[in-house]
Chain A
Amino acid sequence: MIKTIDARGLSCPQPVILANKAIDEGTFPIEVFVDTVTARENVRRMSSNKGLQVVIEEVNEEFKLTLSK
């Protein structure tokens, strides 16, 4: 099952904290929904630093990041 995190509307650094927690739980893939470029970049950077693959899709000015090993 895909783990989904809805971090839309949450301000910095909540999206990263939530994504980080999900990564630590270790079930992949993880879908993270965010609505600002700052949140997108922060989650992307944190995930890349952890050696994860990140695929970003933009839908209606919002972003879906899919994190996988």
Chain B
Amino acid sequence: MSKKMISFFASHWGIIFAGAAIGIIAPLLQKFGNPPNMGVCVACFERDIAGALGLHRAGVVQYIRPEIIGFVLGSMAAALLFREFRSRAGSAPLVRFVLGIFAMIGALTFLGCPWRALLRLAGGDLNAIIGLIGLGAGIAVGVVFLKSGYNLGRSLKTYTAVGLIMPLFVVGLLLLLIFHPQFSAGGPILFSAKGPGSLHAPLLISLAAGLIIGFLAQRTRFCTMGAARDVILMGDTHLLSGVIALVVIAFIANMVLGQVKFGFEMQPVAHSNYLWNFMGMSLAGMAFTLGGGCPGRQLILSGEGDSDAGIFVLGMIVGAGVSHNFSLAGSPDSLVDGVLKVGGVSQYGMIAVILGIVVCTLIGLTMREKH
């Protein structure tokens, strides 16, 4: 690859380009069939995969999302092409698994990962503002831990095969998606017949979109959590410029495609319970910061050989199972006999979010190197 191309991706314009690309692709995926304001959502799509595998039985959110497969394989392609694929492992994997579980519980309380929060905002869903404020608060708390010496220890270089496990795992998912075997009566592989899980763009379009985003995000290190963290930690707006590009371009694309509806109530696959939108994303923000990246970034790292990020991803998939099996996930606003019923979380969900904040706080406080 030419030096010019490498320096473009590392530049300010490179990160803006990546954000803008996601900003165009996500509304288009929605137009092609993905759920509203969910052109791309890492948490929701991993949750759908968990459902398809039978790890939870919420019938409306089960599908093997090709976008997730594409993120990992696109990232691997970029890493191999630019000679950046490095197998590494061994930085507190179990802690990362737990962080992944609570990151998902937090994200599903709000109903979306940071990427979807931005896309919801770009579709006029004003609850996203509250979610993003919560995310920022969680990241700020995480930064306090980082500043006081928190870290999960060093990873070590390891066998190439270790770094290939996550890419091979998603290839396996792709085969399950294509052949759709049924392993038991009424059992997996499960695909939703109604609800958000039943809404999806054609397989090849979704896969191609995932590959493009995975490739670009690997080259530019696009990360929503990192964007806020770098601003809070050192006033660096490099990653933030990509995030802003995503929102602006997605908003314009949504306007052109007629996909904007401003308001708080009855937004698609969302609830207007302000407190728990805030709390859910605060937990997610803490877990992402302590885990070293937003869910999208964890998939990208998994593709370039980082098996610790792979453990975080698997934690998120298991977390989705926990969320739905234990009725922790947020439920969207609905109309009952023409009257608005504000959605939100059950008391179990509230307890889980608070438990998650306590666990993240303990992780942040106890895993510190004294300077």
Could you list which residues of chain A lie within 8 angstroms of chain B, going by C-beta atoms?
Answer: 8-14, 16-17, 20, 35-38, 41-42, 45-46, 49, 61
Could you list which residues of chain B lie within 8 angstroms of chain A, going by C-beta atoms?
Answer: 10, 82, 84, 86, 88, 91, 146-147, 151-157, 221, 226, 229-230, 233-234, 236, 238, 292-293, 308
Chain A nearest Cβ from B147, distance in angstroms = 7
Q: Which residues of B contact A49 (CB under 8 A)?
A: 236
Q: Which residues of A contact B229 (CB under 8 A)?
A: 13
Q: A11-B292, A12-B226, A37-B82 are in contact. List 5 more A-B contacts (CB 8 A).
A: A9-B155, A11-B151, A17-B146, A42-B221, A46-B234
Closest chain A residue to B219 by CB distance? Answer: A37
Q: If A45-B238, A46-B236 touch, does A10 touch B151 (CB 8 Å cutoff)? A: yes
Q: Which residues of A contact B226 (CB under 8 A)?
A: 12-13
Closest chain A residue to B151 by CB distance? Answer: A14
Contact of A10 with B236 in the complex, beta carbons under 8 Å: no
Give Cα distance in the complex from A45 to B220, angstroms. Answer: 13
Q: Which residues of A contact B293 (CB under 8 A)?
A: 12
11 A-B residue pairings within 8 Å (CB atoms) = A9-B154, A10-B151, A11-B91, A14-B146, A14-B151, A16-B233, A35-B86, A36-B86, A37-B82, A41-B221, A45-B236
Chain A nearest Cβ from B20, distance in angstroms = 20
Chain A nearest Cβ from B301, distance in angstroms = 9
Closest chain B residue to A60 by CB distance? Answer: B157
Closest chain B residue to A38 by CB distance? Answer: B221
Q: Which residues of A contact B157 (CB under 8 A)?
A: 35
Chain A nearest Cβ from B181, distance in angstroms = 37
